[in-house]
Amino acid sequence: MYDEIDLNRAVSTYRLFFPTVSGAAIFKGNNAVGVVENSVFGTLETGPKHVGFTLNSDTPYAPLLLDLREGPLVIEVPPGPLICIAMDLNQRWVLDMGIPGPDAGAGGRHLLLPPGYDGDIPDGYYVGRSTTYRVLGGIRSLPVGGDVKAATERLTTVKVRPLDPEREWTAPTWLDLTPGRQDTSPLRWEDNIGFWQALHEVIDAEPALPEFHVAYGDLAALGIVKGRPFAPDERMKRILDRAARIGNAHMRVQSFADRRPDRVVWPDRHWEWAALRFENGDFEQPDSLDVEAREKWFFQAIGASPAMFRRDTNAGSLYWLGDRDSNGAYLAGSRTYRLTVPQPVPGKLFWSVTVYDARTRSQIQTELDKAVLSSLFDFGEGTGEDTIDLYFGPTPPEGQEHRWIQTLPDTGWFAYFRIYGPEMPAFDSSWKPGDFEPVANH
């Protein structure tokens, strides 16, 4: 019975704290390639070799690792096509900035306050309070007219400085992360004892979340306590290792075999909402935490905010998840599929389809070294076609190499359909893409 008790505690806390461990992985992965809190930031034109949950190649990124232990920091975002978010180490939303933020793309000064801060807050700032000292600033720059170079350079115009003008500070430098490989996911330790080691590091270094008060009691019963070393005996190691495998399987099923009716976008299609609704940014409902929606999202992705999946024309972007074909079968890397996309797609900016390896939830890595088809780079809206057919499979259909993404024969996959600047037909069902249709392999 004691083994059962500890296993149940561990599986429950695994699912609750998965976003925290995933958030810690973002810091660890960026630290490993030279990004340093408050000192060295990075720019990244993401490709398949850059492993991270549902990252995409649509826009260049800038990871800003921030540490608020010495006081509040200001992020100055210039006017322009920037989509920005600040989230803490628990992946709880702190601020939207840029186009989806209160500055609406006109530029603004955004103030990040550390946990428990009770100092004066000057006027003229958009303010966000973090529940952890470490904060991730995620900056995306839209490549207007397909100009990726200009979009990447725009990232470096974002400035970070202390609120206190007397504080000693050196302006951060920028590192080009595009050429090298990178892994900012918890894949190496999400299903073993390493998960708990990473969680203990966060528990030991950061303030506790009041909302998870009871869960910290469960962790304490498992030997994960702030201020104490993590030293499980052989029995507890065995239980924690098993709990990580079980919890990981639970979340995988919730993400890719979701049974909630509100996942459905259109009754006559197999597309799902990539995330169930979470307009407050943290999946909190009036009387409860939507744990199903939270677990589904954070197993396959990172970051969330009130503006991220607003289902109206004020949304900065729109994401749909496709993991089944027109017959309801899971997408298999050994088969070839056709996706028909009616034209024009209702978006003010551009649209894309990105293929992800179901095992890593990251862009698929193949000899083609390409995981996305985009209206920005692969075909424009002015082709004159009523529909565009995209193909996915181990080899391209003849003559369709430019509209094809390679898949791995021994691997399942899923896709995100993204629309940037979505317009009303994307929401009122007057426009919708086809399903993935199996076609005869060649």
Which of the pair, 79 or 442, is modelled with greater confidence? 79
pLDDT at residue 218 is higher than 70: yes
- How high is the pLDDT of residue 125? 97
Which of the pair, 142 or 202, is modelled with greater confidence? 202
- How high is the pLDDT of residue 382? 55
Q: What are the CA-CA distances from residue 410 to residues 12, 170, 358 (Å)?
A: 32, 49, 11
Domain ranges of the chain: 2-20+189-256, 33-183, 261-439
pLDDT band at 378 (very low <50, low <70, confident <90, very high): confident
Q: How much is the mean pLDDT over the chain? A: 94
- How high is the pLDDT of residue 381? 57
pLDDT at residue 278 is higher than 80: no
pLDDT in tens, 288-297: 999 999 999 9
First to last CA, the chain: 56
Q: Residue 386: how many CB atoms within 10 A of its CB?
A: 9
pLDDT at residue 277 is higher than 90: no
pLDDT at residue 270 is higher than 90: yes
pLDDT band at 428 (very low <50, low <70, confident <90, very high): very high
* Nearest partner of 65 among 36, 86, 88, judged by Cα: 36
- How high is the pLDDT of residue 124? 95
Instruction: Provide, rounded to the nearest whole percent, the portion of the chain with pLDDT above 90.
Output: 89
The two three-digit tokens of residue 161, written as one number: 């400085």
Total residue count of the chain as it appears in this document: 442
**Average pLDDT for 244-250:** 98
What residues are paired with 174 via a beta bridge? Answer: 41
Architecture field, domain 261-439: Sandwich (2.60)
pLDDT at residue 441 is higher than 70: no
Which of the pair, 84 or 306, is modelled with greater confidence? 84
Cα separation, 30 vs 182, in Å, equals 8
- How high is the pLDDT of residue 317? 82
Task: Using only the alpha carbons of the chain, give its radius of gyration.
Answer: 22
pLDDT band at 175 (very low <50, low <70, confident <90, very high): very high
Map residue 378 onto helix, strand or coil.
coil
pLDDT at residue 380 is higher than 70: no
**Average pLDDT for 331-336:** 97
* Distinct helix (H) and strand (E) counts, the chain: 6, 22
Strands 182-183 and 50-51: parallel
* Residue 138 host element (H or E): strand 134-141
Q: What are the CA-CA distances from residue 9 to residues 18, 218, 227, 252 (Å)?
A: 14, 6, 21, 19
pLDDT band at 385 (very low <50, low <70, confident <90, very high): confident
Weakest mean pLDDT among 49-63, 138-152, 180-194, 302-316: 302-316
Listing from the earlier edge strand, what are the strands of the sheet with 82-88?
61-67, 134-141, 82-88, 93-98
pLDDT in tens, 399-424: 999 999 999 999 999 999 999 889 99
- How high is the pLDDT of residue 313? 79
Characterise 91 by phi-psi region: left (phi > 0), alpha (psi -120 to 50), beta (else).
left
CA angle (262, 265, 269) in 5-degree steps? 125
pLDDT at residue 191 is higher than 60: yes
Q: Which CATH number is 33-183's, of 3.30.2310.20, 2.60.40.1610, 2.40.100.20, 1.10.10.10?
A: 2.60.40.1610
**Average pLDDT for 201-227:** 97
2-20+189-256, what's its fold? Answer: VPA0735-like fold (1.10.3360)
* Nearest partner of 75 among 135, 9, 7, judged by Cα: 135
pLDDT at residue 307 is higher than 90: no
Give the CB-side neighbour count of residue 41, counting CA atoms within 13 A.
Answer: 27
Strands 40-43 and 173-176: parallel
